[in-house]
Amino acid sequence: MNALFPLLAVLIWSINAIVSKVSATAIDPAAISFYRWLLALIVLTPFMLPGTIRNWPTIRTNGWKLMILGLLGMVLYQSLAYYAAHSVSALFMGILNSLIPLLTVLISILVLRVVPTVGIALGTLLSLAGLVWLVSGGQPGLLLQHGIGKGEWLMFGASASYALYGVLTKRWAIALPNWQSLYMQILFGVILLLPNFLMTQDVQLNGQNIPLVLFAGIPASILAPFLWIQGVMRLGANKASIFMNLAPVFTAIIAVLFLHEHLHSYHLIGGGITLLGVILSQRLRTPLNKRC
């Protein structure tokens, strides 16, 4: 029963990848990014405001850290994904998101001085090979001719931003309850998103894009984090993180069924190799420099 918490969280986040793709033709990325977090902020404020007042000394001391976390997790990660959705498929977005655990480990080596393991080394090589196969559509030689597209770079940047967000969250360990910290990050995110929103011409809400904003603002931004936190509390971080490997699978199924995207062999091969690399990086924990 406890497994349902992280499972449902991952399912909601997978659906949100589909929402991101659909939003590419329904609303400007700057608009949905701002409306999404503004909605989440409005919903959370009645519950979080008393704690904000009570914890203000801690918030003031760590304000710059909360701002950077808001920039990485709420601004860059989501905005880059929305822009990437204009040129890459939801299938590709789901596979790139599956790289976040591996990127988190790689960044942890630099920032947290985590000891490299055999799994990290093998996982990195495998995931890199899988990505090359995926991005090239099963023809790696094409990358030498045409390079990597803008959408692919944007999605990779989104995943890297969220990985760095996770690492810094762990390193700083701000002395605030999880929800209080998330609330302040959302507040900073809304403030940072405001200038781009104001410079965007078409930010109109209509019958086509309001459901997308509602889903992104409440289930994906509030309900899924709640379920995930509950899953971590009940199962532990290591067991809960395993469920993130289901995200590209869920995203692929939903994209094929509802967006009628075509699942090609290079998706299966490249995505499978990438996912295998991520799993190996999590499971093989023998230190790389261990002497026999």
Which pLDDT score is estimated for 259? 86
Signed CA dihedral, 267, 270, 276, 282: sign only: negative
pTM score: 0.87
Distance, CA of 48 to CA of 60 (rounded, Å): 16
**CA dihedral of 162, 43, 187, 166, whole degrees rounded to 10:** -20
Which pLDDT score is estimated for 257? 87
Poorest-pLDDT segment among 60-64, 93-97, 172-176: 93-97
Helix orientation angle between 265-283 and 100-111, rounded to the nearest 10 degrees: 40
Task: List the helix and strand counts (H, then E) for the chain.
Answer: 16, 0
Domain-by-domain residue ranges, the chain? 4-283
Q: What is the pLDDT of residues 67-116, one digit of tens each?
A: 999 999 999 998 999 999 998 888 888 888 888 888 888 888 888 887 88
- pLDDT average, residue stretch 187-204: 94
Question: Cβ-count burial of 11 within 10 angstroms (0-12 exposed, 13-18 middle, 19+ buried)?
Answer: buried
Please determine, for residue 195, whether its predicted confidence score (pLDDT) is greater than 80: yes
Q: 12 CB contacts (<8 Å, ≥6 apart)? A: 219, 220, 223, 224, 227
Please determine, for residue 291, whether its predicted confidence score (pLDDT) is greater than 60: no
Q: What is the pLDDT of residues 215-237, one digit of tens each?
A: 999 999 999 988 988 888 888 76
CB 223 within 8 A of CB 43: no
- The torsion angles phi and psi of 141, rounded to 5 degrees, stand at -60, -25
Please determine, for residue 141, whether its predicted confidence score (pLDDT) is greater than 80: no
Mean pLDDT, the chain, integer: 87
Which pLDDT score is estimated for 292? 44
Q: How far is CA 42 from CA 47, 77, 186, 215, in A?
A: 10, 21, 10, 15
Poorest-pLDDT segment among 163-172, 227-236, 245-254, 280-289: 280-289
Which pLDDT score is estimated for 290? 61
Q: What is the pLDDT of residues 236-260, one digit of tens each?
A: 766 777 777 788 888 888 888 888 8
Q: 114 CB contacts (<8 Å, ≥6 apart)? A: 105, 108
Higher pLDDT, 210 or 115: 210
∠ CA 233-237-241, nearest 5°, is: 120
Distance, CA of 106 to CA of 114 (rounded, Å): 9
Which pLDDT score is estimated for 38? 96
Which pLDDT score is estimated for 146? 66
Distance, CA of 281 to CA of 124 (rounded, Å): 7
